[in-house]
Structure 1
């Protein structure tokens, strides 16, 4: 079956048929392995920051693995396109800098569900997706950059407090960034595991229940949480994940109908929120690992990488309780260090996109500063106010340029 990517589809290079399909399977496993190990710390940090208990955070990690794994398998197989899904890493980063909402984690769950509804509507109602795309990219990226700035500073603050535990992790990351960038964060995670072994952290887990259990969380509806969590989570997930994810597939010649995957991501986010998960979406950065020529020379066979990526995520699900328990017992700052290192590349990309456009540079800078400030007004966190401040400044400047606001010149 040919890849549904247009009238002609991406063509296979000479000799592609001689490459074993096992190559695509391996590429999918690597995609899932890198996707999970490079950002699970961000997810746990985000869920715990908005009030999740250890069990609820483990449950959230479990449902995220299951929902995105199933999505990868089903849509890659049905469309014969390497469609991969992932949890919203930028969204988790946003949560990590948010305050616990009034009403605690149940209010955050209500916000997760509202975000999922909006994500699903973007798949069902195309004009809504176009409206989201109209949000000035520098402002959306500025909000993300401001949020990430706080998290990316964590490793360098932690190394001053716990040099013996944090310095080996940063050193491993630096070395691998120079010689094998793709494995820099997984390598830092390996160094962190060594630190955990030396510190005796694993011995503290004796008697702890490591069997993953879905913890049902009844949602609460709080206006502050909807503004502080649901709206920014929706914006960063759409602008930093779903829209770039579609662009990555198109860049490799794949143009399937994305309404079903987008709708699934939204509805699965609604259902997963009841188990503590924040949001899933189309993969963006990791999507290239499964959709590019590294997965298989023949574009018609790369869908296998999407399927094997999904099964890899499903295999990580049963480990969610163990991963969460270790993260809780780890030395102070270790999990935050992994999360911060994992997000540095994303911070660089978001900051470059935010400040690269001279027309929006000042508005983006205001958005970054306010989003990173930790400002909380009426229970609503800095990410929302950063977007509001940047948009207000941009509107003011445009009105002044059109003469709608009189400016007295001396």
Structure 2
């Protein structure tokens, strides 16, 4: 445990949460929570496309919210940092696709092994090496490429829903300019809900359901591990943690507990394997929302991440109801709110990508992430980091400056002794 970073602790977390709670981090947490709830649609779509039973898909999403919500309560509270937890979307797509090929129990067995690998990497303190091999400009290039679609999705409704999209977007900037005591995201949410009420949105299809996660015993095969477990481990260690750490640092925080994030995600993934869930990890888009300027002052943004955990745990048993409610809303509603929440985060990521070293690697990382390509069934986020870092090692080796890093590490070790 010596490599796990120390945090502020949990003893005073409830008191500090109430002390630091304000309109800014509350609104950011609610937006991030709504975004996380809407991500369940991706799981349902992936499950449907793979021909998985609807009952399993619903349990999958309920476990995603409940388990990740519980872990998401403790990580940001312990470190007092905006570190919301969710699951890997690339991992979700791979999970749904591999179940018909290897079986559900076998896929969950591979999940358990992938989680164990991530746990060992975190406990051993190897994330510093991973982060050194994948420099920040390349990480932020991947992040900018992934988040860019949220920006384009925000403006796309101007094409087919011009009036509500214009009203919601303008309300955000009007509030930012003239209503400085009211968080702009709150104004946008209220304006969007008000417009839906006045335009007569149909909520007649909304139904009430209640369901809890169910236990399942994983099974183990080499085929499932090679087809799914190993790629998932690489995604958790090489993509999810660097993306989350990059976002937090990009928002002005000096450090982020990369080893702890990886270890906790690995342990959470091992727990997930017994409840129809494929992974637990830091949530990059929600981290962007919770750590961004819209969440208020730096020292209080951690509250937004805890609010996400509260929303997840509360909503999990009722997700059938939540899903039917989301389906009743116009698609532009969540797209516009999420895009506005991430607007300044996207700008910061773009700036960090193109204003320093590793220019070639960062550019390729950005382009690969934007492209959405899949190689060997693994999504563009992972390959953006791998190929971006590989190309930078080839043509920009001096930018890595391993010798200086090594001397710095030796110096720190000598000082500690």
**If the TM-score is normalised by the length of the shorter chain, which range does it land in?**
0.5 to 0.7
State the partner residue of 2:189.
Answer: 189
State the partner residue of 2:29.
Answer: 35
CA distance in structure 2 between the partners assigned to 1:136 and 1:352 by the alignment? 15
CA distance in structure 1 between the partners assigned to 2:211 and 2:191 by the alignment? 25
1:138 paired with 2:134, answer no
Is 2:172–2:188's contact at 8 Å kept on the other side of the alignment? yes
SS of residue paired to 1:204: coil
Residues 1:227 and 1:235: Cα distance change in structure 2 (over 3 Å) = same
* Pairwise CA distance, 1:203: 1.9
SS of residue paired to 1:211: coil
Structure 1, unpaired ranges of 5+: 10-20, 296-301, 402-410
**Which shows bigger deviation, 154-163 or 180-189?**
180-189
1:47 paired with 2:56, answer no
Deviations 1:319-341 (A, max 9, x none): 54333222223324433333333
Written as runs of structure 1 = structure 2, the 5 A alignment for 1:3-402 is 24-25=17-18, 27-28=20-21, 31=25, 34-41=28-35, 43-48=39-44, 50-51=46-47, 59=59, 62-71=62-71, 82=80, 85-88=83-86, 91-92=88-89, 101-103=97-99, 116-126=115-125, 128-134=126-132, 135-178=134-177, 179-180=179-180, 183-197=183-197, 198-205=199-206, 208-214=207-213, 221=224, 223=226, 231-242=234-245, 263-272=263-272, 274-276=275-277, 278-281=279-282, 286=290, 314-357=313-356, 359-398=357-396
CA distance in structure 2 between the partners assigned to 1:222 and 1:141 by the alignment? 30
CA distance in structure 2 between the partners assigned to 1:374 and 1:99 by the alignment? 18
SS of residue paired to 1:146: helix
Residues 1:149 and 1:70: Cα distance change in structure 2 (over 3 Å) = closer
Is 2:95–2:228's contact at 8 Å kept on the other side of the alignment? no
* Pairwise CA distance, 1:76: 8.1
Deviations 1:87-129 (A, max 9, x none): 248x54x679999735479699778656644442343211x22
SS of residue paired to 1:47: helix
Aligned length: 366
So what's the TM-score if we normalise by structure 1?
0.67
CA distance in structure 2 between the partners assigned to 1:229 and 1:375 by the alignment? 17
Is 2:27–2:183's contact at 8 Å kept on the other side of the alignment? no
SS of residue paired to 2:282: strand
Residues 1:264 and 1:366: Cα distance change in structure 2 (over 3 Å) = closer
CA distance in structure 2 between the partners assigned to 1:334 and 1:122 by the alignment? 39
Residues 1:158 and 1:364: Cα distance change in structure 2 (over 3 Å) = same
Residues 1:245 and 1:158: Cα distance change in structure 2 (over 3 Å) = closer
* Pairwise CA distance, 1:366: 1.3
Residues 1:360 and 1:156: Cα distance change in structure 2 (over 3 Å) = same
CA distance in structure 2 between the partners assigned to 1:98 and 1:170 by the alignment? 35
* Pairwise CA distance, 1:372: 1.0
* Greater percentage in helix: 2
Is 1:28–1:307's contact at 8 Å kept on the other side of the alignment? no
Is 2:33–2:312's contact at 8 Å kept on the other side of the alignment? no
SS of residue paired to 2:343: helix
Residues 1:167 and 1:270: Cα distance change in structure 2 (over 3 Å) = farther
CA distance in structure 2 between the partners assigned to 1:59 and 1:291 by the alignment? 37
CA distance in structure 2 between the partners assigned to 1:344 and 1:239 by the alignment? 20
* Pairwise CA distance, 1:371: 1.6
Deviations 1:176-207 (A, max 9, x none): 444459934444333443344334232221xx
* Pairwise CA distance, 1:154: 1.1
* Pairwise CA distance, 1:153: 0.8
